[in-house]
């Protein structure tokens, strides 16, 4: 089966073809990348100047925006530039939300905002530790933001002005990853989650689920032999295209590309059409206990 489900839509909101939309939503939950080759995020003429790495603060890899607090971070932009950059990211956030809700209307009462990111720095050849290196296959798990089993759904849009694709690899199914790395998940020390929260290392309490997910993320990235030999499919997302994926379930790596928008959403497992696809449920089955 192809890891991509393609949907021929050119609008961020509805109306949509109900049959095609229902199939797309099902395959998205089941672990496909939902690819919308005709859906672009339009930049206004005076926003084109933001397509430059100069707007990053040089430390973080992304400019980030918090749609709930209406706050922008990790940018060098000041004053008017800063306000316009924030407005552009806020617009992306809103359109991404409309997209998700028009595809999966059942998520509406449950979908929670995560951060918006703008990635104006070339991905290929960027220095980072192996654990932070997103050119290595991984499922997403955030060390400082435990999520107690909430799904991570991300909307990506390649806005490269030179027509360059975003190049990804997709890896093996989540079940296989969980099986392969389960014995490398160390025990979570009693009191450690409390301490990490107390020391503000984590925002909130790291659950058993978060502990396991973080270990799947880290152990896979640190395993050179696995990174080389595990099955993978290379995908090129063209400039001016959009895709959505549950990145906590789908093994992915970003090999190359510059200028990307990304919006993160969180979704309670109970809001899914089929909970059995949730990493929480798969891991609970595997470890035979409640994890969040």
Ligand X SMILES: O=C(O)CCC(=O)C(=O)O
Quick one: what does residue 119 bind among ligand X, Fe ion, none, with the CB cut-off 5 to 8 Å set by partner type?
ligand X
- Binding ligand X (rule: CB under 6 A), the pick from 47, 81, 134, 197 is 134
* Contact residues for 198 (Cβ-Cβ < 8 A; gap 6+): none
Residue 207 or residue 247: which is nearer to ligand X going by CB? Answer: 247
| Binding status of residue 247 toward ligand X by CB under 6 A | yes
* CA gap 168, 213 in Å, rounded: 21
| Binding partner of 260, given ligand X, Fe ion, none, CB within 5-8 angstroms per partner class | ligand X
* Shortest separation between residue 87's beta carbon and ligand X, angstroms: 22
Q: Does residue 119 bind ligand X (CB under 6 A)? A: yes
Supply the minimum distance, in Å, between the C-beta of residue 144 and ligand X. Answer: 15
Shortest distance (Å) from residue 15 CB to ligand X: 30
| Residues within the interface to Fe ion (CB under 5 A) | 140, 247
| Distance from C-alpha of 196 to C-alpha of 198, rounded to nearest angstrom | 5
Q: Which residue has the tokens 């925002």?
A: 203
262 binds ligand X (CB under 6 A): yes
CB-based contact 130:136 (threshold 8 Å): yes
Q: Which of 216, 250, 260, 269 binds ligand X (CB under 6 A)?
A: 260
Length of the chain: 292
> Which among Fe ion, ligand X, none contacts residue 254 (Cβ within 5 to 8 A by kind)?
ligand X
Give residue number: closest CB to ligand X. 254
Report in angstroms how near the CB of residue 245 gets to Fe ion at its nearest.
Answer: 9
Min dist CB 47 to ligand X, Å, is 20
Number of other residues whose CB lies within 10 A of the CB of residue 196:
18
Instruction: List residues near ligand X by CB under 6 A.
Output: 119, 123, 134, 140, 166, 247, 252, 254, 260, 262
């Amino acid at each position: 089966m192809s890891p991509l489900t393609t949907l021929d839509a050119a609008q961020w909101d509805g109306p949509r073809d109900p049959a095609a939309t229902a199939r797309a939503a099902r395959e998205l939950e089941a672990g496909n990348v939902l690819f919308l080759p005709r859906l672009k995020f339009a930049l206004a003429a005076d926003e084109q100047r933001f397509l430059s790495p100069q707007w990053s603060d040089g430390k973080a890899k992304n400019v980030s925006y918090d749609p709930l607090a209406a706050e922008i971070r990790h940018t060098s932009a000041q004053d008017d530039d800063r306000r316009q950059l924030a407005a552009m990211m806020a617009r992306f956030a809103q359109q991404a939300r409309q997209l998700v809700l028009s595809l999966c209307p059942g998520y509406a009462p449950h979908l929670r905002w995560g951060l918006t990111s703008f990635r104006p720095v070339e991905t290929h050849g960027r220095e980072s530790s192996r654990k932070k290196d997103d050119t290595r296959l991984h499922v997403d798990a955030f060390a400082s933001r435990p999520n107690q089993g909430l799904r991570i759904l991300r909307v990506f849009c390649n806005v490269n002005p030179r027509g360059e694709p975003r190049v990804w690899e997709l890896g093996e199914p989540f079940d296989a990853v969980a099986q392969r790395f389960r014995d490398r998940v160390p025990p979570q020390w009693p009191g450690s989650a409390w301490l990490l929260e107390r020391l503000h290392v984590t925002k909130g309490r790291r659950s058993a689920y978060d502990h396991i997910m973080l270990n799947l993320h880290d152990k896979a990235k640190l395993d050179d032999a696995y990174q080389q030999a595990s099955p993978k499919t290379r995908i090129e997302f063209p400039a001016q295209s959009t895709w959505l994926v549950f990145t906590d379930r789908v093994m992915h790596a970003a090999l190359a590309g510059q200028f990307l928008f990304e919006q993160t959403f969180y979704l309670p497992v109970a809001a899914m059409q089929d909970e059995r696809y949730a990493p929480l449920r798969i891991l609970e089955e595997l470890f035979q206990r409640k994890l969040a």
